[in-house]
Structure 1
Amino acid sequence: MPRTLDTLTLADAKQMLEAGEAKAVGLGIPYNIAVVDAGGALIAFTRQDGALAGSIDLAIGKAKTARMFDKTTDYLAELAQPGAPLFGIERSNGGNVVIFGGGLPVKVDDQIVGAVGTSAGSVDQDIAVAEAAAAAISRSPDS
């Protein structure tokens, strides 16, 4: 029977954090990882021992941004460059928009149910950790 849900649960978030943490360990970088529900509210957060304190708010902000706009934060960064259609978007929503890679919407059965945000490494590493976290519960109708 297909799983029907409108938002991520705490159990989902814990699975995602575990998968993200494992990817971070593989990279050798302690990470901050945040998971928000379909409404953009924080469900769960982890800060691995030694993770940068300055990345706490970035991870949470990336998750919230990904859910607010239902786009990856790296895609929003492309659209926010000078001359691009969303130039200045990072100043919207009270300045709480984080537009560099590491935030992505999370889908289950093609429905967005929340988002994940990660911060501590390079943009490519942040994206990889976020993708690992999302893959822990994401699936399409064909899977």
Structure 2
Amino acid sequence: MSHPTITLEAASKIIDAGQEKARDLGLNAVFAVLDGGANLVAFQRMDGAWLASNDLALAKSRTSVMFEAPSEALNSPLQIGEPFPHFDHTNGGLLLMGGGVPILDDEGQLIGGLGVSGGTPEQDAEIAQAATS
């Protein structure tokens, strides 16, 4: 039995929509689309985007797939005396800041994730939401 997954065509449409939103915001961004198993389906770096954004976009996408949630939803405020989840040194490369969103099919099943990096975490989240809406 195969699992539902995102197609290259759908990933490309998401990236195109994301690039349009990034341009509207005056940003050059990187886009990484993973399937539901956190495997790379599509990757694009806009001209002039920071090289560091390559790894950040992948990590945000991976985080959204692994937790089936927007990457910023996992970023709780630090409270003195309380344990703090710390994922930045995992082998999986997770990142708990805005810009990663899960991609769901029409039945609400996870089929992939989008990671965006190029602006502030808030701008990246805005781009990712616009790209997948």
Fold equivalence (TM over 0.5): yes
RMSD of Structure 2 on Structure 1 (CA): 1.6
Following TM superposition, the consecutive aligned residue runs of length 4 or more in structure 1 with deviations greater than 6 angstroms are none
Per the alignment, residue 41 of structure 2 pairs with 43
Residues 55, 108 of structure 1: CA spacing in aligned structure 2 closer, same or farther, 3 A cutoff?
same
**Contact 2:87-2:95 within 8 A present in 1 as well:** no
d(CA) in 1 for partners of 2:109, 2:53:
28
Provide the residue aligned with 2:66 in structure 1: 68
| From 109, 127, 130, the counterpart of 1:129 | 127
Amino acid at match of 2:95: V
Write the distance in 1 (CA, Å) between the matches of 2:18 and 2:87: 28
Q: 2:15 aligns with which of 8, 14, 17?
A: 17
Q: What stretches of structure 2 of length at least 5 have no aligned partner? A: none
> What is aligned with 1:97?
94
Task: State the 1:95 CA deviation.
Answer: 5.8
- Three-state SS of the structure 1 residue aligned to 2:65 is helix
* Residue correspondences, number: 128
Structure having the higher helix fraction is 1
Q: Which amino acid aligns with 2:117?
A: S
Q: Which amino acid aligns with 2:56?
A: L
CA-to-partner distance for each residue in 1:29-81, whole Å, 9 max, x for gaps?
000011001111010011000001111100011101110111111011127x3
Structure 1: segments with no counterpart, 5+ residues: 136-143
Q: Tell me the CA shift for residue 90 of structure 1.
A: 3.2
The separation in 1 between residues aligned to 2:9 and 2:47, in whole angstroms, is 22
For 2:110 and 2:6, the matched residues in 1 are separated by: 9
After TM superposition, the score normalised by the length of structure 1 is 0.83
TM-score for both structures, normalised by structure 2 = 0.89
Indicate conservation of the 8 Å contact 2:18/2:131, yes or no: yes
Q: Determine the structure 2 residue equivalent to 1:107.
A: 104
Distance, in Å, in 2 between the alignment partners of 1:133 and 1:43 is 16
Name the CA distance, whole Å, in 1 between partners of 2:110 and 2:59: 18
